[in-house]
Amino acid sequence: MAIPFRTVALIGRYKSRDVAAPLARLGRYLVRSGCTVLIDSETAASSGVGQFPVVSFDQIGKRADLAVILGGDGSLLSAARELAPHGTPLVGINQGRLGFTTDIALASMQESMAAILAGDFKAERRAMVDVRVRRGKAELIHTVGLNDAVVSKGATGRLIEMRVSIDGAFVYDLRSDGLIMSTPTGSTAYALSSNGPILHPGVSGFALVPICPHTLSNRPITIPDRCKVQIDMVSAIEAKLNVDGQPQADLLAGDRVCLRRSRHTVRFIHPPGYDYFEMLRVKLHWSESAL
């Protein structure tokens, strides 16, 4: 059977030398398996692994059939944002903590990659959120996120005020520590810790989750992912916009944050035996016996 992924790119945890040995070992295995192996330039610089052609993310997007991320969820989120315009499939090997999206254990990476190269895998597409910030007639920010977009208070600790609309219809005025718009992928991240719902990746929806709202009846809501969400900043002392945990903009009163489903999706490649509910059960410690 032909190998479905002939050119494989390796991407390691940001500025981590701990990934050097497993990255080199995986790269050598892939070469022996008949693959052309590329390595991300930042990964090569920080890990010292340089025996494979060193390329930029743009070149990975143009040349690679598969990108393997060795790190944690943050590493995969970063790679997803970079590679989404190219449609490059991603597979994650967990060297972080929780590993909601990096679902191959480091100890079994070779066996899992062998199965994937043999065509034994599950492919899944995940929605992304398109994020724009407008100040007057100017567009300050345009980016995408796989997990979430978060408007939050700054270091002063004062509540911020927002006017939230969906498809042009007024929803509420919100005074809170912030507001999360989460994709199904991000529903097990910041949104979950703010009492948001868990959304199965197959659900075509987003969750709007207030962070510590002043009015306790402001509850999380799930909306269809075809909706357009508009957040108008009313009071925004040191307010921030973060996308996938990365700072994007300092917000001022009068700024408008526009959120909608991105035209880009992320294609995950899962190893044999992957089960979403088993992942939740293990990561969230469900079904454990009481002490």
Q: Is the pLDDT of residue 289 over 70?
A: no
Q: Which of 4-13, 56-65, 89-98, 161-170 has the lowest mean pLDDT?
A: 89-98
Q: Can you spell out the DSSP letters for 4-34?
A: S-SEEEEEE-TT-STTHHHHHHHHHHHHHTT
Residue 103 a catalytic site member: no
Give the architecture (CATH level 2) of 128-263.
Sandwich (2.60)
Across 39-66, average pLDDT: 94
Q: Is the pLDDT of residue 249 over 60?
A: yes
* H or E element, residue 102: none
Q: Is the pLDDT of residue 237 over 90?
A: no
Tokens encoding 29: 């295995």
What's the mean per-residue pLDDT of the chain? 94
Q: What CATH number does the domain located at 7-121+271-283 have?
A: 3.40.50.10330
Return the pLDDT at 19. Answer: 87
Sign, Cα dihedral of 113, 117, 121, 127: positive
Tokens encoding 158: 């004062």
The domains of the chain are located at 7-121+271-283, 128-263
Tokens encoding 255: 């700024």
Which residue of the set 73, 148, 225, 255 is catalytic? 73
Q: Is the pLDDT of residue 208 over 90?
A: yes
Return the pLDDT at 274. Answer: 93
